[in-house]
Amino acid sequence: MSGNDKLSIMLWSASVDKLYPVAMLAAGAAAMDVQVNIFLTFSGVEAFRKGALQTNTQITGDYASHGEKFLKLIQEHNVPPWYQTLAQAKEMGDVKISACAMTMDLFGLTKDDLDEMVEDIEGMASFAEEAKGGQILFV
Amino acid sequence: MADYATDMEIDARGMFCPGPLMELIKGIKQSQVGETVAVLSTDSGSKKDIPAWCQKAGHELLAVVDEDGYARFVVKKAR
């Protein structure tokens, strides 16, 4: 597999205005046969707690006014929620979501506390190994 | 303008990128080789995304027809 065919995203953020483009990136990449690995860490893990996906309305502080405008338009135009696009991306192609072991331990969480979209828990080294040969994004 | 008979028509108008492409992919997956799927889209990204995907996935983009306020993409499942 060439380097262009693998994208690893280290998802540190939990703000919805970032989750939308991440989900869409995963979908677009999966559509074009790119293997996508998403590694949730810190706030990213929080964003994937059971029940949190549907109630999350956090916006990135620096871009608050843009974020609010964006979310309003999303509602008005019936855009599917980011987690639905992500679920579709998983169905369509090779998209894997893992949670950072360190964050899980720090927060005292187990896999059961997370949404079923999260497939497993792994350490930094595993993610780094899996990312080899591809591109890594920090969001 | 040739009229393409299609086995499946997906109305993705009003959907935002990457919705129409994902619907096309789903439709193609559900189709047999040789069948034709048409996707109607108002999303401007589709004009590039759908041809790029067809080329990548090895399917035949038979036509892109500009209709009243939307585009019709006709794709034949080639493999």
- Mean of per-residue pLDDT scores for chain A: 94
CA A120 from chain centre, in angstroms, equals 13
Is B51 in CB contact (< 8 Å) with chain A?
A: no
Proportion of chain A above pLDDT 90, given as a percent? 88
Q: What is the pLDDT of residues A62-74, one digit of tens each?
A: 888 888 899 899 9
Whole-prediction pTM value? 0.90
Q: Is the confidence at residue B3, as pLDDT, over 80?
A: no
pLDDT of residue B2: 54
| Whole-number pLDDT of residue A1 | 44
- pLDDT of A137: 97
Could you tell me if B53 lies within 8 Å of chain A, comparing CB atoms?
yes
Residue tagged active-site, from B4, B7, B8, B17: B17
What confidence score (pLDDT) does residue B1 get?
47
> What DSSP element (H or E) covers B64?
strand B60-67
Mutate which: A4, A20, A24, A90, vs B, most B CBs within 10 A: A24
Q: Tens digits of per-residue pLDDT, B17-70?
A: 899 999 999 999 999 999 999 999 999 999 999 999 999 999 999 999 999 999
Cross-chain Cβ contact B53/A77 below 8 Å: no
CA distances in angstroms from A11 to A47, A81, A129, A136, B9, listed in the order given: 10, 17, 17, 10, 37
Tens-place pLDDT, residues A33-62: 999 999 999 999 999 999 999 999 999 998
Confirm if A40 and A8 have CB atoms less than 8 A apart. no
Q: Do B19 and A80 touch (CB under 8 A)?
A: yes
- In the DSSP assignment, the letter for residue B46 is H
**Is B54 labeled as catalytic in the residue annotation?**
no
